[in-house]
Amino acid sequence: MSRRILIAGNWKMNCLQADGTALAADLASRMKSGSVKCDMLVCPPFTLLKGVLDAVAGSGIAVGGQDCHAAEKGAHTGDTSAWMLKDLGCAAVIVGHSERRTNHAETDAVVKAKAEAALAAGLMVIVCIGETLDERDAGKTLEVNRTQVQGSLPDGATAENTVIAYEPVWAIGTGRTATPDQAQEVHAAIRSELRGKLGEAAANGMRILYGGSMNAKNAADLLSQADIDGGLIGGAALKADDFWTIAQSCP
């Protein structure tokens, strides 16, 4: 089954308005004059969402949030709901990024609740999973990722509304990328776990992105792997040339 590649930029806590909207406008103008064979998504920080949505309007680039609360509304100071993202014009949201699991003590159960809120609000959800270096060194990579698939995926997940991002924690922002073989091994294990959980059709259709120091040089090799269906890109998503080169690397 052919899965359309998704190239998603996770801007994390970077860019002020001028830089963020300029980056978005740069990507939008490349989209209008060139062509890519993949879906494109950018996930800027909350403060930039409106400006970026305006800058990419009509370009085919979708915009998403980097996190959402599990509740629709209420007494949750500092949080943003999935419904608020949807209301603004967002198409997607990332949940369960390892930086949130670490910095905000988010468990699989919390991530699952957020993912279910995203689906209820009508957003596509990108659920992040991945092992730490200690877990890899202990030979627990596949087990950890299988457990996170079971614990973090929302009820109601389909190939259309849910994307998984496999991001080995040791590769995020370190310049140390998983080799294409290492990544493919985990992606294949994730897909086989999905087969048991969601059935053959959903497992075959669901996109599994790789994230962790993906860049303009290594993207083509990673994206050519059978079970790697795109990238969740941090550092290299902040440079239009690099992000565009990655998008052009789609097989």
Distance CA 125, CA 161 (A): 6
Residue 81 or 98 with smaller CB distance to ligand PGA: 98
Choice from 10, 145, 162, 184 touching ligand PGA (CB under 6 A): 10
Active site residue 200: no
| Spatial CA neighbour of 177 closest among 213, 130, 206, 226 | 213
Residue 10 or 148 with smaller CB distance to ligand PGA: 10
Site for ligand PGA, residues 213 to 232, rule: CB under 6 A: 213-214, 232
The active-site residue out of 99, 116, 131, 167 is 167
Choice from 44, 96, 230, 234 touching ligand PGA (CB under 6 A): 234
**Residue 175, token pair as written in the block:** 């310049």
The active-site residue out of 69, 97, 131, 187 is 97
Reported for 239-247, long-range contacts at CB under 8 A and 24+ positions apart, including other chains, are: 240/23, 240/26, 240/27, 240/30, 241/216, 242/215, 242/216, 243/7, 243/9, 243/27, 244/27, 244/30, 244/34, 245/216, 245/219, 246/7, 246/214, 246/215, 246/216, 246/219, 247/7, 247/36, 247/38, 247/40
| Residue 58 DSSP code | T
Residue 15 touches ligand PGA, criterion: CB under 6 A:
no
* Residue 137 C-beta: closest distance to ligand PGA, Å: 19
Active site residue 72: no
* Residue 185 C-beta: closest distance to ligand PGA, Å: 19
Residue 21 or 66 with smaller CB distance to ligand PGA: 66
Q: What is the dihedral of CA 249, 50, 152, 75, to 10 degrees?
A: 170
Residue 60 or 173 with smaller CB distance to ligand PGA: 173
Residue 93 touches ligand PGA, criterion: CB under 6 A:
no
| Residue 179 DSSP code | P
Site for ligand PGA, residues 163 to 202, rule: CB under 6 A: 167, 172-173
Kindly list the residues in this chain that would bind ligand PGA in the complex (CB under 6 A): 10, 167, 172-173, 211-214, 232-236
Which residues are marked as active site?
97, 167
